[in-house]
Amino acid sequence: MNQMGGGHAREPRNNARHNAGYNGVSADEEFFGLVDRITCQMSEVDQHINEIRGMHERALVATNEPRHKEAAAERDRKVAVTNNAIADIRDNLKEMADVCKRSKHDPSVTAGQMTARGGRHKALAKKFADQLQRYRQMEYEYSQRNRERLERQYRIARPNASEEEVRDAIASNQVGQVFAKSVENSNRLGDARRVLRDVEERQADIKKIEKTINELAQLFVEVSDMVNQQQEMIDSIDTAVEAAYTNVAAANTEVKSAIVYRKKSRKKMWCIIIFLIIIIIVVGLVLYFKLR
């Protein structure tokens, strides 16, 4: 089963996309191209998860070794494809987050556009996290059903085993050893060996599923951190917008005060001018009458 963290082989392609915004592709085209790509990939992963669920069911109810091997092999191939698609979505979400960060330094992008982009990225990342949880829950349920089948088979070899002994045997991979001993002492050697092979295969199944569950848990934490970081960015933009709005409001108040003050100053100036004109007229009249 391929690791979901194995996205290194796809890194050159992501770097090419990373440089796209500087090679003739606008920031909007780059951002919404990633939105469309991620949405399409998540839809495909949903379909893959449903198909894996059916393959798990066929592997569980397989009545003989060839059928179980065929169902398990088909499922493993589909799981590998799904895990690669999930790794691609994670890489695209990271690229989308980088585009959002670069938008903060792009003067052509408004605060409203940055907030909208951050919200879109957060919504997609949250939807992806929910998808990972559904996938993880499905794998956990399949693992539990496989364990229940192993418990039944263990009790065939050791009918008097306690619940604790059965759980410990499965957890420590002793089920196969118990059946190996029963094969040595069995009169129906063919049947015993067939059951032993089934036990070994289902134990291997449980290990693979547990590995997938752990990888999904790690990826879920990574995506959750991505959601939180994007929320912090949105909050910082909103804070900056609110601060700018407050500053604009304060500036408007100051401008209004300045206009009122200017009007008052202008009114005083006209009063002084009129007063001076009156004084000049009075002085002129007094001088005129004295000279006469």
Among 23-37, 86-100, 278-292, the range with the most confident prediction by mean pLDDT is 86-100
**Distance from the first to the final alpha carbon of the chain:** 122
Task: Answer yes or no: are the C-beta atoms of 121 and 93 closer than 8 Å.
Answer: yes
Distance of alpha carbon 171 from alpha carbon 143, whole angstroms: 12
> Does the CA dihedral 243-249-251-253 come out positive or negative?
negative
pTM here is: 0.64
Where is average pLDDT lowest: 121-135, 142-156, 187-201?
A: 187-201
**Thinking of the domain 8-252, which architecture would CATH place it in?**
Up-down Bundle (1.20)
Extents of the domains making up the chain: 8-252
Per-residue model confidence as pLDDT tens digits over 52-94: 999 988 888 877 777 878 888 898 999 999 999 999 999 999 8
Q: In this structure, which amino acid lies at residue 225?
A: D
Look-up: residue for tokens 């991620």? 38
The pLDDT value given to residue 255 = 66
